[in-house]
Chain A
Amino acid sequence: MSAGPIVLRETGTVRAPLVETLHQWVTTVDHKRLGILYIVYALIFLILGGIEATIMRIQLIRPLNDFVSPQVFNRMFTMHGTTMIFFVAMPLVFGFGNYLVPLMIGARDMAFPRLNAFSFWMTAFGGLLLYFSFIGGDGLYGAGNAPDVGWFAYAPLTSQTFSPGHSTDFWTLALLVSGFGSIGTAINLATTIVCMRCPGMTLGKMPLLAWMNLVMSGLVILAVSPLSAAQIMLMVDRYLGGHFFDTQAGGSAVLWMHFFWVFGHPEVYVLVIPAFAFASEIIPVFSRKAIFGYPVMVAATVGIGFISMSVWAHHMFAVGMTSNSNTFFVLSTMAIAVPTGIKIFNWLGTMWGGKILFKVPMLFCIAFLFQFLIAGLTGIMQGAAPFDWQLTASYFVVAHFHYVIVGGILFTIFAAFYYWFPKASGRMYSESLGRLHFWLFVIGFHLTFDFMHVPGVLGMPRRIYTYEPGRGWDIWNVIITIGAFFQAAGILVFLYNLLWSYFHGEIAGSDPWDAWTLEWTTTSPPPGYNFATVPEVQSRRPLWDLKHPEDPDWKYE
């Protein structure tokens, strides 16, 4: 029998003057506030990145269009990619991790609160530095100098010869700075998870979200560092006359690619593993069942973490590596599909036999399952190297990775927003606005990214500011652009929902979802110290045990 959700008495608060509030936010070392800062920061950059995407899509709606010049377009795709990865997706993932991990493991804060604040402000500064490039510096190609070398900045296009002026330097330095911030957060998360779990919470009893943040942190530590190293080398080339990637002096452009993708591939796992974490917390609650196969989920995640460090050159199949190298990377790429696919089955197994509630978080998670399935399958297609020799650097791969990042990661992030918004704000969001957001966004997403596979297969390369008529690409580009506007509308509804609900939503209480992990035992929003008394747990779902004393989890684990 269910005892129902836990209800705690709220305490009243008095409003402080604005200046004092701002000061508190700027100087905070509280993981919850830093988490919210990360998330709000990311949402602002989501809008900027979205505007960049919209500009590109308008330019590409018909062949030989002249909505923007090629110089502007090239800056748009560079900034869009860089912004979305480094200043939207990563801050969102770190923000949620920061907010949730201590709460879910029964800790009062992160292990290094000041390092936490430092890491946030480093990341924030990096984003501002990147966007300052629009007005700062000087260069050859006209006013405004956002970088235009693509988000992976291949050498030798980034050398002084081909990128005079400072636009590339803004890219390099902004990411170097925010990279140090990312490493700081990863160190913090890893230490917190390893050292600060509450009594009774062994590694085998902590929520999957904690496990996945631990693996993610390990990946950040091992993967962001190579990017930092490569960027230092690039600066040495550009300013100290070095020759790391100087092909005229015998240097290797391919070496940059290896270094970049050694970072770049684990990076996408850094983004997707927390997405898995959100799905693994939300799907059980809205299916009213425990996660199916917890130990295998952990093992699969750790396995994915390890294998992800060995697949990087599948981004380089067309570069001219030996057949043995290509074959090795085909093997590792296909191998990583196994633990990833297993997770989909585990989520399916969780829903199987459950009682599914179609609240907004669950809607997004269900869409995630279908979309991530497709994304994974198009990934396997490209893992077959010869097939990739046609598909790489075309709109097929653009469709694939947006399927993963938007259809997979962003959808679960939306789910996470709706799921934990009541906890963080104390109020429920509007369910009907949430549904409107969902449907607008799903329609827009599929219009854009389903059909985007077609021009790829019909020979349309990526990063082109215009295209010839008569290639058969025209109608698809129109559909893709229309979808972009649906997605924009969805995001606007989402932001409005967040704002409106913050002020007018009904009071949520501490456990609106009748959920089972520790964050729901404290008030909404939680007090600064998180828990009045440090909790002690006996199973993976401490609240389930409390609500079902006759049938607790620890009997079965």
Chain B
Amino acid sequence: MYCLIAAESAIFSIFVVAYLFYTGKSLTGPQPRDVLRVPVFFTICLLSSSLTIHFAVKSLERGKARAFALWWLLTIVLGSLFLAGTAQEWHHLIYEEGLTIQTNLFGTTYYSLVGLHAFHVTVGLLALASVSAFAVLGHVKKEHAGRVEVLSMYWHFVDAVWVVVFIVVYLIGR
């Protein structure tokens, strides 16, 4: 998983570099400070989901399968809230501000970077959901704590990437 995270970090870095490089270089169209609203609530959701997944893993290590299932489910809920927030933000940007991936350099780099992240969140949620399904059926036990921890590393990575994207897009880029 560490190796996979390294590879994914390299991919995200390239998108971040492109985003930073093109900051301020759009020739036309909406600029970041005109249209971006800082997604504080949804960021808190995603970052707290790191906390909840941590508690989930710890519970499973102590053999508390029910607590694990509940913390795990909460993680999924928080992650889904984050995705809903992204969807809401994009709806606003596309239909009310007229910013699409084709509009200008900002649009291209913004949707690509945030979209790549959202894609990784989605994949993560699917994986978490399948574990949830197993947990509900009672198949997840203490001896699976190691595997679940590996998956939680992926989730922490996705959150860490969001911290970077947040800083680059909503703080620096504006």
A–B: direct contact at CB < 8 Å? yes
The residues of A with any CB-CB pair to B shorter than 8 Å are 183, 186-187, 190-191, 217-218, 221-226, 228-230, 232-233, 236-237, 240-244, 249-252, 255, 259, 262
Contact pick for B112, options A191, A222, A225, A233, CB 8 Å: A233
B18 A255 Cβ-Cβ under 8 A:
yes
Residues of A within 8 A of B7 (CB): 183, 186-187, 221-222, 224-225
Contact pick for A229, options B15, B101, B109, CB 8 Å: B15
B14 A225 Cβ-Cβ under 8 A:
yes
A226 B108 Cβ-Cβ under 8 A:
no
A183 to B3 Cα, complex, angstroms: 9
Residues of A within 8 A of B104 (CB): 243, 249-250
A229 B102 Cβ-Cβ under 8 A:
no
A249 to B104 Cα, complex, angstroms: 7
Contact pick for B105, options A191, A249, A259, CB 8 Å: A249
Residues of A within 8 A of B4 (CB): 183, 187
Say if the beta carbon of B27 comes within 8 Å of chain A: yes
Residues of A within 8 A of B8 (CB): 225
A218 to B109 Cα, complex, angstroms: 28
B11 A229 Cβ-Cβ under 8 A:
yes
A243 to B10 Cα, complex, angstroms: 21
Say if the beta carbon of B21 comes within 8 Å of chain A: yes
Say if the beta carbon of B37 comes within 8 Å of chain A: no
Q: Which of B16-48 contact A (CB under 8 A)?
A: 18, 21-22, 25-27
Residues of A within 8 A of B136 (CB): none
Contact pick for A244, options B3, B11, B108, CB 8 Å: B108
A190 to B14 Cα, complex, angstroms: 23
Centre residue among A222, A223, A233, A251 by max chain B CB count within 10 A? A251
Q: How far is the CB of A350 from chain B (nearest CB, A)?
A: 32
Residues of A within 8 A of B6 (CB): 218, 221-222
A242 B102 Cβ-Cβ under 8 A:
yes
A186 to B7 Cα, complex, angstroms: 10
Residues of A within 8 A of B3 (CB): 186-187, 190-191, 217, 221
Q: How far is the CB of A397 from chain B (nearest CB, A)?
A: 25
A229 B108 Cβ-Cβ under 8 A:
no
Given A250-B25, A250-B27, A255-B18, are A222 and B10 neighbors across the interface (CB < 8 Å)? yes
Q: How far is the CB of A370 from chain B (nearest CB, A)?
A: 36
A228 B11 Cβ-Cβ under 8 A:
yes
15 A–B pairs (Cβ distance < 8 Å), ordered by A: A187-B3, A221-B3, A221-B10, A224-B7, A232-B116, A233-B112, A240-B101, A240-B102, A241-B102, A243-B102, A244-B112, A249-B27, A249-B104, A250-B25, A262-B14
Given A243-B105, A250-B26, are A236 and B10 neighbors across the interface (CB < 8 Å)? no
Residues of B within 8 A of A252 (CB): 21-22
Contact pick for A226, options B11, B26, B100, CB 8 Å: B11
Residues of B within 8 A of A228 (CB): 11
Residues of B within 8 A of A242 (CB): 101-102, 108, 112
B25 A229 Cβ-Cβ under 8 A:
no
Residues of B within 8 A of A236 (CB): 101, 108, 112
Residues of B within 8 A of A241 (CB): 100-102
| Chain A residue with the shortest CB-CB distance to B21 | A255
A249 to B47 Cα, complex, angstroms: 36
Residues of B within 8 A of A249 (CB): 27, 104-105
Residues of A within 8 A of B108 (CB): 236-237, 242-244
Q: How far is the CB of B10 from chain A (nearest CB, A)?
A: 4
A225 B10 Cβ-Cβ under 8 A:
yes
A250 B105 Cβ-Cβ under 8 A:
yes
Q: How far is the CB of B114 from chain A (nearest CB, A)?
A: 13
A323 to B159 Cα, complex, angstroms: 39
A251 to B27 Cα, complex, angstroms: 10
Residues of B within 8 A of A229 (CB): 10-12, 14-15
| Chain A residue with the shortest CB-CB distance to B12 | A229
| Chain A residue with the shortest CB-CB distance to B15 | A229
A252 to B26 Cα, complex, angstroms: 12
Q: Which of B77-101 contact A (CB under 8 A)?
A: 100-101
The 7 closest A-B pairs by CB, nearest first: A241-B102, A225-B10, A229-B14, A242-B108, A187-B3, A225-B11, A221-B7
Residues of A within 8 A of B21 (CB): 252, 255
Residues of A within 8 A of B11 (CB): 225-226, 228-229
Residues of A within 8 A of B14 (CB): 225-226, 229-230, 233, 259, 262
A231 to B109 Cα, complex, angstroms: 14
Q: How far is the CB of A220 from chain B (nearest CB, A)?
A: 8
A233 B18 Cβ-Cβ under 8 A:
yes
Given A233-B112, A242-B102, output 11 extra A-B contacts at Cβ < 8 Å.
A183-B4, A222-B7, A226-B10, A226-B14, A230-B14, A237-B108, A241-B100, A244-B109, A244-B112, A249-B27, A250-B25
